[in-house]
Amino acid sequence: SVTARTKSPTVIFGGFTDNVKAILDDDELYEEAASESFPVYNKSHMISLELPDRTGDVIITSFGELGKNEFLDPRTAQVAIIDHVKQVCTEVRPAMDEELPSPYIEEYRCALDAEILKYISEAYPKGFTSFNFEINASLIDTMYSNGSWRSVWNIEFKDDIQLVELSGKLQVGAHYFEEGNVQLDAKHECQDSTIAQCAEDCAISLASIIRHHETEYLASLEASYSNLPDTTFKDLRRKLPVTRTLFPWHNTMQFSLTRDISKELGIGK
C-alpha cells in the first residue's frame, strides 16, 4: 500500500490539552483518555514524525504499525518507537528479519518508492510518502498551513492472471478563516489496473496511474470550487447581496441597524 500525503505539520495540542485537563480535573482520567484517543488521531491523520537520527520521517499509519507504539520505516529498515501524546519519535531500533518484506516484495517496493518519490517532488513540494510491504503507499502533502492532501493506494499483485490492481482513497482537507469559518473535507475513491511486469517497469506504470488519478481529481476539485462564490457561498454572510464585498466586521457602525441598536442601548456614548 502506498500512502502519500502532503506534509502537514504535526499537531501539538498544547493549550488544548491543558484546557481538557482543567475540565476533567483528574490526571488519571486524562491519561487514560489521551492514551486511547491520540493514537487514533495520529493514524487517521497520518502524521509524520522525524526520526531521532534525522535519517528521515516515519508516517504514522495502521499499515506500518507493528505494535502499540511501534511503526516500521521500510526505507531505513528501522522501527520507530512513538510517544503518541507528545507526537514525537523517542527512539528507533533495527527491524528484525520477520518484520521486513521478502526480497521479492522488497524489490518491487524499492522500485515503486523511487518512482513515487519523483512524483512527490514534482506534485507535492512539501510532501512525502511511505511504503510498507503489503505493498501499501501513503502519499501525504500539506498544500498550505491550513490544508492537507492524504491518499492511500492499495496495490494487489494477481500473479495467476499477470495483473496488478490498484485502489486509491484520496482525502483533501482545508480550513479557511477570514472573519468566518469554512471547512472542506472531500473524499474520492478510484480503481485501476496494469499488466504485471518486472519491478522497474511495473513501478513506472503504477506511478503513472497514481499521477493520472490524483491530477484528474485535483482538476475536478478546482473546477467545482471555482464556482463556489456564485453558488454555495452566496448563501453565506461572507458577501453583501449588492456590493459583493467582504462584510466589514471591523466597521459595522456604517450600517443603520447597528447605529440604531447602539443608540437604543447607549453604546459608544
List pLDDT tens digits, range 54-86.
878 888 888 889 988 999 988 889 999 999 988
* Whole-number average pLDDT of the chain: 77
Let me know: does 74 contact 132? Beta carbons within 8 Å.
Answer: yes
Three-class secondary structure of residue 205 per DSSP = helix
Give CA 260 to chain center in angstroms: 48
Q: What is the CA radius of gyration of the chain?
A: 24
Q: Is 50 exceeded by the pLDDT of residue 36?
A: yes
Instruction: Give the residue-averaged pLDDT of 177-187.
Output: 69
Let me know: does 184 contact 173? Beta carbons within 8 Å.
Answer: yes
With b meaning 16 or more CB within 10 Å and e meaning fewer, what string describes 178-214? eeeeeeeeeebebeebbebeebeebbbbbbebbbebb
Q: In the prediction, which pLDDT does 143 show?
A: 47
Interacting residues of 70 by C-beta distance below 8 A, sequence separation 6+: 79, 80, 81, 82
Q: Is 80 exceeded by the pLDDT of residue 142?
A: no
Let me know: does 61 contact 171? Beta carbons within 8 Å.
Answer: no
213 vs 220: CA distance, rounded Å: 11
Q: In the prediction, which pLDDT does 130 show?
A: 73
Instruction: Give the residue-averaged pLDDT of 189-211.
Output: 93
More confident residue, 202 or 133: 202
220 vs 193: CA distance, rounded Å: 22
Give CA 110 to chain center in angstroms: 23
Three-class secondary structure of residue 101 per DSSP = coil
Single-letter amino acid code for the residue at 157: F
Task: Return the C-alpha cell found at 54.
Answer: 534525522
Instruction: Give the residue-averaged pLDDT of 103-123.
Output: 88
* pLDDT one-digit tens code per residue, 13-26: 545 566 677 777 77
Q: Is 50 exceeded by the pLDDT of residue 117?
A: yes
Q: Is 80 exceeded by the pLDDT of residue 264?
A: no
Helices (H), 25-148: 27-44, 103-123
Domains assigned to the chain: 10-94 (3.30.1140.60), 111-225 (3.90.1150.210)
